[in-house]
């Protein structure tokens, strides 16, 4: 039997599982893994490993995540690359896809075949209702390309947003922030990622379609920006920690303002707001950036108040 894991942001996994039970009955060889606001990436990884271990008697496992490029999808993909189990990963899960997966296991032992079927079903079930007249108009009208929102009057060839996010490229960055700021290139500044093939693969998979990606060390980032290597791009800079962002500012990279989104809990850190945990060194770096004329905010998502991080300290 193929084991099934569903995972997603917030209570997506347990919520969609309740719908699955209502329609298709109690699933077996099944785990729902929620990624809660207070969970770190390490905790999510541990949760998914535990779920995989609980399905060790299954011939293989299909993991279904809510959002392709989101943290649950990225962590599951990394576990697959590590060879944690004979598994496949599908992103963009909806209820139709989950029902197909749960019931399709009865007829197939091929997890790759099941993953393909699930992905196809999920896409087919995303339908916009059109009246007969609207359907005629749609058939007659030329197809329009879907374009990422970009402000044509915004300055070109400069950093339009700088964010500290310990998850680097994940759901909020890939699907919300990149579109909100109209970025044409994401520059991930992280020394460790360059030495980790799985991390590099994960970042490339999480990159939004139509947006360029550069992954560089702190030193190389300083060089590239001073060379004006990204001329013509609207650049979204992401660092994993505050220290790296502070160093970019210190070295004169053209960052006007810094947004702190996610900083993991570490030894000696204290929580100042949801998803932001700071050490005394982090706070010192923040004060240094602010005192040098670079405001620092703490904003997880765009519709949160864009206010100084000092208000949380």
- CATH number, domain of 241, equals 3.40.35.10
Do residues 165 and 265 share a domain?
yes
Q: Residue 143 has what pLDDT?
A: 66
Backbone torsions φ then ψ of 67, nearest 5 degrees? -135, 120
Q: Residue 150 has what pLDDT?
A: 47
Do residues 176 and 115 share a domain?
no
Is residue 74 included in any domain, yes or no? yes
Do residues 290 and 215 share a domain?
yes
Active site residue 161: no
Q: Residue 46 has what pLDDT?
A: 96
CB 62 within 8 A of CB 90: yes
Do residues 76 and 168 share a domain?
no
Q: Tell me the residue range of the domain where 170 lies.
A: 158-312
Is residue 131 included in any domain, yes or no? no
Here the CATH number for the domain that contains residue 6 is 3.40.50.510
Residue after which a domain boundary falls, among 75, 100, 124: 124
Do residues 79 and 185 share a domain?
no
Residue 278 CB contacts under 8 Å (≥ 6 apart), including other chains: 242, 263, 269, 270, 272, 286, 313
Is residue 170 included in any domain, yes or no? yes
Residue after which a domain boundary falls, among 124, 150, 184: 124
What pTM was estimated for this model as a whole?
A: 0.72
Do residues 176 and 294 share a domain?
yes
Catalytic one of 161, 170, 287, 294: 170
Q: Residue 290 has what pLDDT?
A: 97
Is residue 152 included in any domain, yes or no? no
Is residue 212 included in any domain, yes or no? yes
% helix, strand, coil for the chain, step of 5: 40, 20, 35
The segments of the chain whose pLDDT lies below 50 read: 147-152, 154-155
Is residue 141 included in any domain, yes or no? no
Is residue 136 included in any domain, yes or no? no
Terminal-to-terminal C-alpha distance of the chain: 52
Is residue 107 included in any domain, yes or no? yes
Which spans in 154-312 are helix H? 171, 178-181, 197-206, 218-226, 242-250, 280-291
Do residues 176 and 297 share a domain?
yes
Do residues 167 and 119 share a domain?
no
Q: Residue 256 has what pLDDT?
A: 95
The DSSP bridge pattern shows strands 296-298 and 276-278 to be unpaired
Do residues 21 and 95 share a domain?
yes
- DSSP-assigned letter for residue 176: I
Do residues 169 and 237 share a domain?
yes
Residue after which a domain boundary falls, among 124, 146, 177: 124
Do residues 110 and 192 share a domain?
no
Q: Residue 4 has what pLDDT?
A: 97
Question: What's the domain count of the chain?
Answer: 2
Do residues 293 and 169 share a domain?
yes
Q: Residue 154 has what pLDDT?
A: 46
Say how many residues make up the chain.
313
């Amino acid at each position: 039997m193929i084991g099934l894991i569903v995972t997603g942001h917030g209570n997506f996994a347990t919520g969609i599982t309740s719908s699955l039970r209502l329609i298709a009955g109690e699933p077996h060889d099944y785990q729902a893994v929620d990624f809660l606001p207070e969970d770190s990436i390490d905790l999510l990884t541990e949760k998914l490993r535990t779920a995989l271990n609980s399905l060790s008697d299954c011939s293989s496992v299909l993991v279904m995540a809510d959002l392709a490029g989101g943290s649950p999808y990225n962590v599951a993909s990394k576990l697959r690359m590590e060879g944690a189990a004979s598994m496949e990963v599908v992103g963009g899960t909806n209820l139709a896809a989950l029902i197909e997966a749960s019931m399709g296991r009865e007829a197939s032992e091929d997890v790759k075949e099941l993953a393909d079927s699930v992905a196809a079903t999920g896409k087919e079930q995303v339908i916009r209702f059109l009246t007969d007249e609207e359907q005629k108009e749609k058939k007659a009208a030329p197809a329009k390309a879907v374009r990422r929102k970009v402000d044509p009057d915004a300055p070109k060839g400069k950093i339009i947003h700088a964010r500290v996010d310990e998850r680097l490229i994940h759901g909020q960055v890939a699907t919300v922030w990149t579109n909100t700021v109209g970025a044409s290139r994401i520059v991930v500044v992280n020394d460790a990622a360059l030495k980790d093939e799985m991390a590099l693969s994960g970042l490339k998979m999480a990159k939004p379609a139509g947006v360029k990606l550069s992954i560089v060390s702190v030193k190389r980032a300083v060089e590239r920006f001073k060379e004006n290597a990204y001329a013509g791009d609207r650049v979204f800079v992401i660092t994993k920690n505050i220290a790296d962002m502070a160093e970019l500012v210190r070295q004169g990279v053209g960052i006007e303002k810094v947004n702190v989104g996610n900083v993991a809990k570490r030894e000696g850190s204290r929580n100042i707001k949801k998803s932001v945990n700071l050490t005394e060194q982090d706070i010192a770096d923040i004060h240094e950036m602010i005192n040098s004329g670079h405001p620092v905010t703490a904003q997880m998502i765009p519709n949160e108040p864009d206010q100084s991080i000092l208000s949380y300290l």
